[in-house]
């Protein structure tokens, strides 16, 4: 299952975007808040983003 981002925990720092080896994560802005979004079709489930996220905002979808 692909990674998912908890918008409430995500600070929009972009570390996961920089570290994703397949460029499956992007930052979006909504209501003056930036957060990461994972493209489920491109995600290879490598979990690099989970290890990178200091806020614990990314997990694997069950």
* Nearest residue to 9 (alpha-carbon basis) of 42, 34, 40, 43: 34
3-57: CATH topology is Alpha-Beta Plaits (3.30.70)
- The pLDDT tens digits of the residues spanning 2-42 come to 999 999 999 999 999 999 999 999 999 998 999 999 999 99
DSSP annotation of 31 reads T
> Parallel, antiparallel, or unpaired for β 58-60 and 3-5?
antiparallel
Q: Model confidence at 61, in pLDDT bands (50, 70, 90)?
A: confident
Phi-psi bin for 18: left (phi > 0), alpha (psi -120 to 50), beta?
alpha
Structural domain boundaries in the chain: 3-57
């Amino acid at each position: 299952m692909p990674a998912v981002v908890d918008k409430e925990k995500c600070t929009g720092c972009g570390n996961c975007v920089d570290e994703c080896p397949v460029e499956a994560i992007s930052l979006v802005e909504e209501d003056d808040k930036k957060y990461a979004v994972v493209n489920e079709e491109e995600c290879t489930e490598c979990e690099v983003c989970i290890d990178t996220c200091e806020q614990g905002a990314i997990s694997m979808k069950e």
